[in-house]
Amino acid sequence: MDKQMKLHYMNRIDEKLSDLPWFVTEFIDSRKRKLSPTTLLNYCHDYIIFFDWLVAEHFTTASRKDIGLASLETLTIRDVENFLSFLEYKLGNTKLTINRKLSALKSLFDYLQNKAETSDLKPYIQRNVMAKMELNAIKESQETMANRIEGKILREDDFESFRQFVAYDFGEMNKENKRIYNFHQFNRERDTAIISLILGSGLRLSEVAGINLEDIDLNKALVRVIRKGNKEQYVYFSKQALLDIESYLQIRESRYVPDKLESSLFIAAPIGRKGKNRRLTQRSIEKLVEKYAAAFGKPTLTVHSLRHSFATRYHLENNDVPRLRNQLGHSSIQTTMIYTHLTDEEMRKAVNNMDR
């Protein structure tokens, strides 16, 4: 993540913290050196949901910002179980999402009990109810995970069909709607390059959004990305992705008219007369993928499922798990092994075809 993107996230974090209790600000500040800005921003969102629930359920008469430490110490296990039920049944959160929110609360409460100290060297809270809470048990075999993912990815000819749809067919489909048609004509090279890059490299959403012009090596079809854990890596992308990126770069300056200091690869057009170009955010990229996926007739397609699509195709054609692991930036080879299960059906068909 470059300095501009990091500053953007830190500003958003500060906005959220301005309406959260003082001790949350202190906790977030203590984690800025160790956790990514996106993780800290997610923490802030989770805390807002939790403290708003405390207010709505009358655990306190204070506003969200003015909730005190005493309100946290009096919470019971039953109270927290009710909050987790609220997340699941009222907000529709999955067990994985609930685990993430509970982990954020556990980290906060652990800080208040075991790390933060008052002026007389006592912990902020004596009683930590979150320490008694257990995460949801979620056990999925690699085969189960593969089956869950299987219906949400692109297969074989779908790769080029989807790319062609983004580049041309979406515009033709909406020719009668001038606003949508003109917007697509303006952005189609950029959007095609984004889709093609993900399908041709398996990059994560954050990695695509964070690419700068100087990170791209067109001669070697390589892109420099910052992976999880702040690790720098150079990742190969496909020839088709290279062609689409080159097409986008040919019109980037003339069409988007970026400032001289604008280093982001993928940018949005300025809004208004005095508007400035800005880096496409992760959410903007998610939304454009969702838009094309729904129109293409595969509404379950996401940036992440495009990454899965690349990995499945790579494994089917190369059968090289260690190299795939490196390409995807997985810390554990067990994570990569899921794609061996995803391609079982293709392998079966290939063996059967030998009898023809």
Q: Residues with catalytic annotation?
A: 204, 228, 304, 307, 330, 339
Contact assessment for residue 32 and residue 40, using Cβ atoms and an 8 Å cutoff: yes
CA distance 157 to 143: 24
Phi, psi of 104 (to 5 degrees): -65, -40
Q: Which helix (H) or strand (E) holds 332?
A: none
Question: For residue 253, what are the contacts with CB-CB under 8 A and spacing of at least 6?
Answer: none
φ, ψ (nearest 5 deg) of residue 301: -65, 135
Residues in the chain: 356
Q: Where are the beta strands (DSSP E) in 101-230?
A: 216-217, 222-227
Any idea which residue has 């702040």 for tokens?
230
Q: Are strands 216-217 and 278-279 parallel, antiparallel or unpaired?
A: unpaired
Token pair 């794609």 in the structure block, residue: 339
The amino acid sitting at 194 is I
Query: Which is nearest to 185 in space by CA: 203, 196, 169?
Result: 169
Find tokens 């997340």 and name the residue. Answer: 87
Say how many C-beta atoms besides its own lie within 10 A of residue 220's C-beta: 11
Contact 302, 286 (CB under 8 A): yes
What tokens does 137 get?
């048990």
Torsions phi, psi for 223 (to 5 deg)? -135, 135
Furthest-apart CA pair in the chain: how many Å? 82
- Please identify which residue in the block is written with the tokens 């089956």: 147
Task: Please tell me what DSSP assigns to residue 264.
Answer: B
Place of tokens 């303006």: 186
Angle, CA 91 vertex, CA 98 and CA 285 arms, to 5°: 80
For residue 75, give the 3-state DSSP assignment.
coil
